[in-house]
């Protein structure tokens, strides 16, 4: 998986300033059809990329909880799930409005490495 996504420059961004809107989403969980998927979200209004915090006891990927900063309600976002099994790559994306559902389902489908990279580039 390391060879699929490379971050050239990492910087610190204080995104808390963008989360002071009301109402807010207190919880966002993501279910995938691949157990080893890595799930992330792109928050469109400020181009922030966040990886899921953890998997809960039901195996759902979690982004927010009561102790963390919640997301603004009804903002557009894109969920991204990536998995690799042997030499096979899988990708799933889903455009959402935050707050529409507590649990979102992302279905991963097999892609070639080049297809996966191209689809990720298109998300920029």
The structural domains of the chain, with segments of one domain joined by +, span 15-122
Which pLDDT value is given to residue 110? Answer: 97
Nearest to 63 by CA among 103, 20, 121: 103
Q: What percent of the chain lies above the pLDDT cut of 90?
A: 41
Which pLDDT value is given to residue 13? Answer: 55
* Best CATH choice for the domain 15-122 from the list 2.60.40, 3.40.50, 3.30.70, 2.30.29: 2.60.40
Instruction: Determine contact, residues 93/106, Cβ cutoff 8 Å.
Output: yes
pLDDT in tens, 21-78: 567 777 889 999 998 999 999 887 777 888 888 788 888 998 865 456 567 788 889 9
Going by C-beta distance under 8 Å and a sequence separation of 6 or more, which residues neighbour residue 42? 48, 49, 77, 78, 80, 123
């Amino acid at each position: 998986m390391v060879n699929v996504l490379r971050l050239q420059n990492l910087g610190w961004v204080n995104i808390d300033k963008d989360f002071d809107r009301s109402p807010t989403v207190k919880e966002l969980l993501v279910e995938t059809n691949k157990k080893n998927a890595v799930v992330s979200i792109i928050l469109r209004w400020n181009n922030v990329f966040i990886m899921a915090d953890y998997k809960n006891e039901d195996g759902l990927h979690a982004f927010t909880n009561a102790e963390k900063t919640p997301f603004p309600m009804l903002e557009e976002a894109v969920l991204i799930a990536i998995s690799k099994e042997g030499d096979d790559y899988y990708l799933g994306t889903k455009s959402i409005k935050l707050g529409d559902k507590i649990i979102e389902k992302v279905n991963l489908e097999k892609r070639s490495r080049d297809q996966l990279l191209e689809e990720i580039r298109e998300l920029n």
